[in-house]
Amino acid sequence: MTVQFAAGTSLGGTSKDLVPIRFRQVGEKILLTNPWGDWIALTPQEFDELRNGGTLGHELEARLHARNFLRPNARQDALMARLQNKNRALDAGPNLHILIVTLRCNETCVYCHASRAEMDRVDTDMSTATAERSVDMALSSTSPSITIEFQGGEPLANFAVMRHAIEYALARNRSYGKTLDFTLISNLALMDDEKLEYLVDRKVQICTSVDGPAALHDKQRKLVGGSAHTEAVKWIRRINERYEAMGLDPTLYRVEALLTTTRESLRYPKEIVDAYVGLGCRALFLRPVDPFGFAAKTGGRVGMEKDDYLEFYTTAVDYMLDLNRQGIQVLERYAGIFLTKILTDTDPNFLDIRSPCGAGIGQLAYNYDGTIFTCDEGRMLAASGDAAFQIGTLPSARYRDLMKHETVRALALASNLDTQPDCVNCVYRPYCGICPVYNYATQGSIHGRMRDSGWCRVHKGIQDYLFKKLIADDPGTVEILRRWTTARERTHYVHAAAAS
């Protein structure tokens, strides 16, 4: 059971005032957390001693004091500063702006989130005028740093408009003076040397999808007349070679590749890791398939039980830890996000796992036709016929109206963990986050019911796994997990502010 104790409450008559705490049994220990993210693991006997009152042993009292669980000696100013630092992203407006430059795609994926269109559907291409208005809206954000991310469909199918948007953004930003960077999400099958040279010259970060070994990848991602895996691997290697030829640090500058975990993937945890390592990738994101777009219709074929996913996850990450012990550095992104929150005073601002979430206040998604959504997940739902998360349309939309939209406000409230009946008392409250659009798609309400949520089950299971490793306190394993929190800035991709 997970419980929060009010500040100043004495547990069972103990004379030691505790800060608000939450607890949960993890393995053979009782995990306690406090509001600013410190944690401590107690034996059941120690926990009973704490809960039932009496004089605390000196060793237990010292440990509680060192981890800021006792109120009398807690430095409130320092704790407030830590909370402010962890939530500093909330001081700015949306920094991620997703441009859907086309719905056309040359691949057919069994789990497609984007609700693709056939390659002859040029009516689903974004126009240059809409691209310019989208960039103008992005630069109107109060965030000092802006990421413009190009998605589809397959963005390279409308490369001319994507290129126009980049040039327009660079020119317009001379008046705004923001730090600006660009990201491309592509299957790479339409890449050619001319496109690559332009993208490298404009410092566009390139991301793709790799579902594992060739047989698995090509089974889930169909490319007419060819192998989707062969094309992706060819261009991943070419792009990485180009970065190395430029003298960029190969540990930082490589193609980012994302995995969508399906029921079929569960059979190949180690083979998937080996496929990424073989491509020189230093990170995997073992994300389960989401219930959006076409995936909502094919979920019965590609979805999975969450317990099966968690078994796959632990097997894959255990294997990655073994590889790290052998000197092969590779990390899992979910683990890196949670560990950064658990082990440091920094929040990586991953928009899906923060409180409140990034919908509207952290990101905006601009569809090919100029409709604006709180997030890409909301845009995907609209492609299935439900436009509940549309908040404006270009060119009439105004930035202030978007930020004050009742849907944006509702999502911020619904994803504030302190207003969630289950989350407010959860031991993982300091590290977690929820997606109200996921709740809406799976449970019919943006608030959802966390105890019945697959989202919650996955995130809680991952954090249980990580805390078991941390509590076991094997020095080699803990050192690897701490290394996974290290975030080094990749400044090459950033166009520095240059206001005129």
SS (H, E, C) the chain: CCCCCCCCCCCCCCCCCECCCEEEEECCEEEEECCCCCEEEECHHHHHHHHHCCCCCHHHHHHHHHCCCECCCCCHHHHHHHHHHHCHHHHCCCCEEEEECECECCEEECCCCCCCECCCCHHHECCHHHHHHHHHHHHCCCCCEEEEEEECCCHHHHHHHHHHHHHHHHHHHHHHCCEEEEEEECCCCCCCHHHHHHHHHCCEEEEEECCCCHHHHHHHEEECCECHHHHHHHHHHHHHHHHHHCCCCCCCCCCEEEEEECCHHHHCHHHHHHHHHHCCCCEECEEECCCCCCHHHHHHHHCCCHHHHHHHHHHHHHHHHHHHHCCCCCEEHHHHHHHHHHHCCCCCCCCCCCCCCCECCCEEEECCCCEEECCHHHHHHHHCCCCCCEEEECCCCCHHHHHCCHHHHHHHHHCCHHHCCCHHHCCCCCCCCCCHHHHHHHHCCCCCCHHHCHHHHHHHHHHHHHHHHHHHCCHHHHHHHHHCCCCCCCHHHCECCCCC
Domain tally, the chain: 2
Contact, 117 vs 108, CB < 8 A? no
**Do 236 and 105 lie in a common domain?**
yes
Q: Residue 448 falls within a domain, yes or no?
A: no
pLDDT band, residue 113 (cuts 50/70/90): low
**Do 68 and 150 lie in a common domain?**
no
pLDDT band, residue 306 (cuts 50/70/90): confident
Domain termination site, one of 66, 86, 106: 86
Domain of residue 230: give its range: 90-377
State yes or no: pLDDT of 299 exceeds 90.
no
State yes or no: pLDDT of 110 exceeds 90.
no
Closest CA to 71 of 24, 46, 44, 36: 36
pLDDT band, residue 7 (cuts 50/70/90): very low
**Do 74 and 137 lie in a common domain?**
no
Q: Residue 228 falls within a domain, yes or no?
A: yes
Using a pLDDT cut of 70, give the percent of the chain over it: 92
Taking residues 442-464, report their average pLDDT: 95
pLDDT band, residue 57 (cuts 50/70/90): confident
pTM above 0.85, yes or no: yes
pLDDT of residue 5: 42
Q: Residue 300 falls within a domain, yes or no?
A: yes
- How far apart, in Å, are the Cα atoms of 238 and each of 197, 231, 337? 11, 11, 29
**Do 65 and 129 lie in a common domain?**
no
**Do 283 and 353 lie in a common domain?**
yes
Q: Encoding tokens for residue 274?
A: 């080996």
Q: Residue 383 falls within a domain, yes or no?
A: no
pLDDT band, residue 3 (cuts 50/70/90): very low
**Do 283 and 203 lie in a common domain?**
yes
Q: Residue 475 falls within a domain, yes or no?
A: no
Domain termination site, one of 349, 377, 405: 377
Domain termination site, one of 346, 377, 408: 377
pLDDT of residue 14: 45
pLDDT of residue 296: 53
Using a pLDDT cut of 90, give the percent of the chain over it: 74
**Do 242 and 103 lie in a common domain?**
yes
As a whole number, the mean pLDDT across the chain is: 90
Taking residues 97-107, report their average pLDDT: 95
**Do 114 and 261 lie in a common domain?**
yes
Closest CA to 374 of 403, 344, 338, 398: 403
Q: Residue 159 falls within a domain, yes or no?
A: yes
State yes or no: pLDDT of 320 exceeds 50.
yes
Q: In CATH, what number is assigned to the domain containing residue 106?
A: 3.20.20.70
**Do 80 and 42 lie in a common domain?**
yes
Lowest mean pLDDT among 78-92, 97-111, 264-278, 300-314: 300-314
Taking residues 446-470, report their average pLDDT: 96
Burial of 385 (0-12, 13-18, 19+ CB in 10 A): exposed
Lowest mean pLDDT among 165-174, 215-224, 268-277, 457-466: 215-224
**Do 313 and 215 lie in a common domain?**
yes
Q: Residue 155 falls within a domain, yes or no?
A: yes
Q: Residue 282 falls within a domain, yes or no?
A: yes
**Do 53 and 132 lie in a common domain?**
no
pLDDT in tens, 198-229: 999 999 999 999 999 999 998 999 998 899 99
pLDDT in tens, 69-85: 988 777 888 889 998 99
pLDDT of residue 13: 34
**Do 81 and 230 lie in a common domain?**
no
